[in-house]
Structures are given as C-alpha cells and as structure tokens.
Amino acid sequence: MITPNIRYYARLSFDETSKKTPKYVITAEAGYYPPIEAIKGKNGKVTMYLMSKREQQPSNTPPMRLQAKDSLNFTGLKDYFVNGKLSGFAYGYPNSEKTYSNKNKENPFYDYKDDGYLFIIHQDEKSKNQTPASIEFIVLENGKILLSSYCKQLEMGGFDEALKLLREQAK
C-alpha cells in the first residue's frame, strides 16, 4: 500500500490540571496544518478534551471523540475500543459541513474535509483507568477514503519510518 502524504504530526499530552474530563494539550508538532490555528486558545495552545459519545447519538457514532475550542467536535475516534478494550489506535476525519450547525460557526476544517486523522493512544501502565497519558495525531492529506486501511497499516508498522522522523522533528 502506498503511504499517503503526512501533512502534520502532533503529540497531545495529558494535562495534569484536568478535572472531570481528560484534557490534552499539543506539546510537540511537525509540519503545518492551517486549521489548527483556528482552534488555538488565548494562550496560543491547542487544547482538546477526550469525551464519550452523547447517549442520544446514533449507534454508529464512535464511542469517543475529541472536542476542541468553543466545544467544537474535532473528530470521532473510530476503533478506539476493539472488543471492549482500548486498542491503542484510532482514526477519524474532519467535519465535512461548511458550518457547525449547532454553533452556526464557520468550520475551519472545511477546506480539508478529505483529509484523514490517525491516532496512536499511549496508555500509562500505572494508570488504573483508561485515560491515555498521551495521544499522537497524524494528518494524512486526502486520506479519508482509505482511512480504516491506513489505520491497519499504522498498527502493522507501515508508518514507523515516517513517524520516527516526525517525532525527531517535532518541537
């Protein structure tokens, strides 16, 4: 399988000041992904919350999601759990609507709606709950259509060389 172009890489680290909902902050990044600028907070940092799906959502909605600034749904995390256990990998994609209907706010990810997101979930062995210690986030240019296959490729080590370079570049 051909490895798609990786637009952006980020490491989201667990914020120890999290209260009830686990909060993650981008602590390292490589590449550039313009929509990320739109979700930076006043402090210049990108913060996301790891949340369970709402009870009234359809059954095909991923069980977990990342929520960003202004309570915008960043993405659902498909395959976050496999057979009831944390899989260590997940995938998702940007909202494809021009505006967020519940917020009537322009979607900064609209021009990138065909991109795909891959996630590597790092669990802290000492943690008694299923709150990840960190999450690696990879944006694949126009990767949405083959995303589940790319996630399998990630699990099998198909992105190891590219990830090694991105981790070294990440600041």
CA 113 to chain centre: 14
Is the entire prediction scored with pTM above 0.75?
Answer: yes
Report the chain's mean pLDDT, rounded to a whole number: 89
CA torsion 42-103-15-171 (nearest 10°) is -60
> How many domains does the chain fold into?
1
Range of the domain at 117: 6-169
Give just the sign of the alpha carbon dihedral 138, 143, 148, 154. negative
In terms of Cα–Cα distance, which of 85, 77, 157 is closest to 117?
77
* Digit-coded pLDDT (tens) for 65-79: 999 987 788 999 999
Q: Does residue 1 lie within any of the structural domains?
A: no
User: How far is residue 135's CA from residue 22's CA, in Å, rounded to a whole number?
Assistant: 12
Indicate the SS3 state at residue 168. Answer: helix
User: Tokens 């909202």 identify what position?
Assistant: 95
CA 48 to chain centre: 9
So what's the pLDDT on residue 14? 94
Helix (H) or strand (E) holding 73: strand 72-77
Task: Provide CB contacts within 8 A for 150, sequence distance 6+.
Answer: 1, 4, 91, 116, 118, 140, 143
* Digit-coded pLDDT (tens) for 24-40: 999 999 999 999 999 99
